Structure 1
Amino acid sequence: MDRLNKLWSVFNSSHDSTALSPLDTMDLGPTKNTENPVMIQFFTWDCKHPKLSWWRFFEMTVPDLESLGFTQVWLPPPHKAMRKTGNGYDAYDLWDLGEFDQKGTVATRWGTKGELVHAVAVAKQRGMDVIIDAVLNHKLGADQREIFMATPVNPKNRMDEIGPSRTVEQGWTRFNFPGRGSKYSTLKWTHEHFTGVDWDHTTKKRGIYRMTNKSWSPRVDDEHVNYDYLLGADVDHNHPEVAKDLLSWGPWALQTTGANGFRLDAIKHIDRRFLQHFIQHARQATGRPQLFVVAEYWCPDIKRVMFWINEYRGLTSFFDVPLHDNFWHASRSGSKYDLRKILDNTIVSLRPGDAVTFVDNHEFLQQIGQSLQSWVSREFKLHAYALILLRDKGHPCVFFGDLYPNKECYDAGTAYGLRILLKTRKNVASGPVTDYWENASYIGWVRRGQGHKICAVIISNADPASSSEPHMIRMFVGKGHDHTTFRNVFTPHSPGIKVSKDGWGSFTCVRGGISVWTLASNIVACV
């Protein structure tokens, strides 16, 4: 049995299937009676409004977000970056939310602290919680150089030393925060607070250098044997001063901004024990046991992902990266992909109470055109969104880049269709799902709730040139709808479909397309 199968065995043997899942215990919006909670990632990698700060733009967009049914908004890292235009993943000072003159600016890329606090308050008034991005793995943009001993290691095997320990004039490990001083936090970071760096200023060589008196954390992902180091100055979460500072920052950031939870960046590189403590402390210190947390563990391998889910014991939900990977493969393969397998080996199929489902996000915008890209194509994007928005499992997250105009990835047709799907989710989708997955090239399902809340969905990846005849699936929508007309929300003025007395209807979809059928009386609310 190989290593991954051993991990899988550990998960299966230790998992308690009766335990409450994270999505059962965390707030997915301001109210617990929200039937169809949904999150939006309100940024792209390089987004910038031409006239307003991003926080002001977010505030102005709140009414539209409310109309589309969003209950949560995930905002980008709010802290000061190493560059004036940095988006926050190049973390410099977590305690500066756009308040101090540092790195050539008071405001962050996104705006000032005051604008952020006001925008969050407006969102909460309109029924939306705000989630902030916590970048705890690394720091960049240090204020001074330092001299210390470090050991070069093999980038493909971080436990393999490839040279002797040497004196490194690295340059970027001392953080004095001259603009902020000691307000909020007195910690001044030095090389003692890090485990590794990626630059030897003495030899002008890039590489991975482990501090000679430090070890990588053993409680990280085992890619490259040990994946503690990612980039910049790698934070030593086992250093008591570091742990104290970051544990204090979590509750302070929530209370200062008014936010209701965290998206945890790059958790495969962070000591698991520390992050477990971070989550628990944030909930205890704020008095919010239902505080929402979602973790980014970037790996399409479901066995690895499930091992990590087991390690966190319900403390956090996880982005369903294996599901995104299925969407990507389906979009690349076209009619060759068997749609009946679209949910196979995903978090939402195996542990739906742990799954934050998504189609695309900011990570891929750096990769378009590169060998690592996994961007879901326009031809399959609405199909994928239907699978996360119009079903009853998982907690869906919509990407700003797919919904609002931007220079990186916007497609007007996708945005128009996505708005229809969101309104359908808000106003029509309800109750459990019944699947009709009998054909490799087209699948259907019905979500049937109380009263008039009902939708029947078909998606197809068949080649439109293969035939002019539409697909047809006979699906049960419930008795009491006999002789009632169902219409497709994407073509509301086209002929409808009548349902028989026994509650069955023959629903259609063009080849390669998507159709969402609901009662004719519901159409106005969906479009």
Structure 2
Amino acid sequence: MKNLQNLLKIILPICLLLIGCSKEKLLDDQSSDDQLLKQKSVSSKAVVASNLKPIGSGVMMQAFYWDVPAGGNWWNTLEGKVQDWSNAGIDAIWLPPASKAQNGAFSMGYDPFDYFDFGQYNQMGSVETRFGSENELKTLITSAHNAQLSVIADIVINHNSGGQSEINPVNGQSNWTKFTPLSGKFTRDYNDFHPNHNHGSDSGIFGGFPDLCHHQVRVQNELWKNTESVAKYYKNVMGFDGWRFDYVKGFEPWVVKDWKNEVGGFSVGEYWDGNAGTLDWWTGQAEVSAFDFACYYKMRDAFNGNNLNELNGDMLWKRNPMRAVTFVTNHDTDEIYNGKTLAYAYIMTHEGYPTIFYRDYEEWLNKERLNNLIWIHNNLAGGSTNVLYVDDNEYIAKRNGNNNLGLVVYINNADTWQERWIETNWSNTVIKDYTGHSGWEPTTQSGRWVKIQVPPKSYSVWAPK
């Protein structure tokens, strides 16, 4: 018995050592497999990212409007459209604010509560957002990527809503600044909002909502700097590719610049101002694009005011076309009610990155005509712009071409056919109207002059046949 005990003393440690080594090897093998899976996942994601159309090579789709149908089905609705949009020449879709807001299933997302709840937590009166569940959003993003479309997130980081009341010791007042979201991420209190101990001023307030203080280092960390910040979660977990910043007048341009430098991705700010110089200043400070409100207001005055001379006015795309995102309408504005299709003909043939509005494309305007303009933008509208003629009713401009032949666009706001002689960039060349509106194929003279025409309340776009 004693000998057996001695033998066990010798054998048992050896067995334990062998078992330990086997377990360690198993863990090492598992670690290697996990690492391999991670590498495959990263590689797979990189392949998807590299497969996307370059943002700005086509047209952006604003894939929502104010008060889209409630009921949690919007992500599914969009998922069924992304391939057709890609086929038409869209390169990116801009989604509404996707995380849970104070009004839960009824909110359009612009009153954010929990930045990490995309429809998976039961709070603010619902599990899903107005648009659907987290899984449905991920399915939409995956389908968009498979269709080579980038996905732009609408980011609201000026104001929050849905917090509980607490006393702010700075001003002794009760404010709705106590946020304890069920995600457990980016909890907030009065220190994170204006006024706080360090910064009592702010660039702009919005409707009396609690106003995030971007000077607070903790707010910067939680929004974009930390490994699990809002920005990095949107990008790395949810799969968003770029950003539309809401109400950027509410914070300084360096906030957008820092965010973009930290996480990358296409970025455009909503700086609501019709002054092209102001927009140019902001894009220079933030080092990102801006919606060209100057262009929007000039088009409104041109088409609703029946004076196309307004199109000669100052616009962001004329100052810095690489920073201008042009649009005819969006979820906040719909003032161009006369000549809206003519306005699309303008932005699709001129410099800047044009946006098309969901309801214009899917409901209100002629989709075939819009698809034709998207094709013209993607295939013909390159190079610098020269205005050839303009008066109250007529506007003619020439794109000089880069890797394409360029084009001439003729917009007519009159009630009768119009025609004019113009000087093109093409000598002894047969040209045609790529809209099909005129049905005429003239030949330019040796001096590059040619007569073109346009139907009433319409447009024509000319290029070599």
TM range (shorter): 0.7 to 0.9
Choose which of 321, 335, 355 in structure 2 pairs with 1:352: 321
Distance 1:433 1:480 in 2: 22
Distance 1:93 1:118 in 2: 21
CA displacement, residues 459-479 of structure 1 (integer Å, 9 cap, x when unaligned)? 1233x2xxx452334342513
CA displacement, residues 61-89 of structure 1 (integer Å, 9 cap, x when unaligned)? 01211121011111111111111210111
Does 1:191 find its partner at 2:190? yes
Give the match for residue 318 of structure 1: 290
Aligned length: 411
CA displacement, residues 334-367 of structure 1 (integer Å, 9 cap, x when unaligned)? 1xx2x344152211111112111111111126xx
Give the match for residue 168 of structure 2: 148
Give the 3-state SS of the residue equivalent to 2:342 in structure 1. Answer: helix
Does 1:301 find its partner at 2:275? yes
Give the match for residue 376 of structure 1: 336
Give the match for residue 432 of structure 2: 486
Does 1:175 find its partner at 2:172? no
Does 1:216 find its partner at 2:188? no
Distance 1:262 1:40 in 2: 14
Give the match for residue 202 of structure 1: none
Choose which of 155, 160, 166 in structure 2 pairs with 1:139: 160
Distance 1:214 1:357 in 2: 35
The answer to whether the Cα contact below 8 Å between 2:379 and 2:404 also exists between their aligned partners in 1 is no
Give, as a single letter, the amino acid of the residue that structure 2 aligns with 1:243: Q
Choose which of 352, 358, 372 in structure 2 pairs with 1:394: 352
Does 1:507 find its partner at 2:459? no
Q: How does 1:233-244 map to 2 (within 5 A)?
A: 233-244=210-221
Structure 1 residues 261 and 146: CA distance shift in structure 2, 3 A: same
Q: Offset of 1:439 from its aligned partner?
A: 3.6
Give the match for residue 129 of structure 1: 150
Give the 3-state SS of the residue equivalent to 1:117 in structure 2. Answer: helix
- Where relative contact order (Cα < 8 A, 6+ residues apart) is larger, the structure is 1
Give the match for residue 38 of structure 2: none
Give the match for residue 18 of structure 2: none
Which structure 2 segments of 5+ residues have no match? 1-48
Does 1:471 find its partner at 2:419? yes
The answer to whether the Cα contact below 8 Å between 1:29 and 1:72 also exists between their aligned partners in 2 is no
Give, as a single letter, the amino acid of the residue that structure 2 aligns with 1:216: S
Structure 1 residues 436 and 294: CA distance shift in structure 2, 3 A: same
Distance 1:301 1:428 in 2: 29
Distance 2:372 2:358 in 1: 15
The answer to whether the Cα contact below 8 Å between 2:53 and 2:150 also exists between their aligned partners in 1 is no
Q: Offset of 1:448 from its aligned partner?
A: 5.8
Q: Offset of 1:41 from its aligned partner?
A: 0.9
Does 1:424 find its partner at 2:376? yes
Give, as a single letter, the amino acid of the residue that structure 2 aligns with 1:60: G
Q: Pick the structure with greater CA Rg.
A: 2
Structure 1 residues 193 and 433: CA distance shift in structure 2, 3 A: closer
Superposition misfits of 4+ residues, deviation over 6 angstroms: none
Q: Offset of 1:430 from its aligned partner?
A: 4.5
Give, as a single letter, the amino acid of the residue that structure 2 aligns with 1:399: F
Structure with the higher helix share, 1 or 2: 2
Q: How does 1:36-115 map to 2 (within 5 A)?
A: 36-48=57-69, 53-83=73-103, 84-115=105-136
Structure 1 residues 452 and 329: CA distance shift in structure 2, 3 A: closer
The answer to whether the Cα contact below 8 Å between 2:88 and 2:374 also exists between their aligned partners in 1 is yes
Give, as a single letter, the amino acid of the residue that structure 1 aligns with 2:100: K
Give, as a single letter, the amino acid of the residue that structure 2 aligns with 1:363: D
Distance 1:129 1:506 in 2: 41
Choose which of 428, 434, 440 in structure 2 pairs with 1:496: 440
Give the 3-state SS of the residue equivalent to 2:165 in structure 1. Answer: coil
Q: Please provide the CA RMSD for this pair.
A: 2.9
Q: Offset of 1:322 from its aligned partner?
A: 0.8
The worse-fitting range, judged by mean Cα deviation, of 81-90 and 415-424 is 415-424
CA displacement, residues 180-214 of structure 1 (integer Å, 9 cap, x when unaligned)? 2x2xx2x421222211xxxxxxxxxxxxxx56885
Structure 1 residues 454 and 229: CA distance shift in structure 2, 3 A: closer
Q: Offset of 1:499 from its aligned partner?
A: 1.2
Give the 3-state SS of the residue equivalent to 1:489 in structure 2. Answer: coil
Give the match for residue 259 of structure 2: 278
Q: Offset of 1:242 from its aligned partner?
A: 1.8
Give the 3-state SS of the residue equivalent to 1:363 in structure 2. Answer: coil
Give the 3-state SS of the residue equivalent to 1:146 in structure 2. Answer: strand
Structure 1 residues 431 and 279: CA distance shift in structure 2, 3 A: closer
Q: Offset of 1:304 from its aligned partner?
A: 2.6
Choose which of 37, 44, 52 in structure 2 pairs with 1:30: 52
Structure 1 residues 298 and 29: CA distance shift in structure 2, 3 A: farther
Give, as a single letter, the amino acid of the residue that structure 2 aligns with 1:215: G
Structure 1 residues 451 and 420: CA distance shift in structure 2, 3 A: same
Give, as a single letter, the amino acid of the residue that structure 1 aligns with 2:237: T
Give the 3-state SS of the residue equivalent to 1:259 in structure 2. Answer: coil
Structure 1 residues 455 and 43: CA distance shift in structure 2, 3 A: same
Distance 1:28 1:509 in 2: 41
Give the 3-state SS of the residue equivalent to 1:279 in structure 2. Answer: helix
Give the 3-state SS of the residue equivalent to 1:386 in structure 2. Answer: helix
Give the 3-state SS of the residue equivalent to 2:148 in structure 1. Answer: coil
Give the match for residue 24 of structure 1: none
Give the match for residue 249 of structure 1: 230
The answer to whether the Cα contact below 8 Å between 1:497 and 1:507 also exists between their aligned partners in 2 is no
Distance 2:403 2:282 in 1: 41
Distance 1:487 1:241 in 2: 57
The worse-fitting range, judged by mean Cα deviation, of 381-390 and 68-77 is 381-390
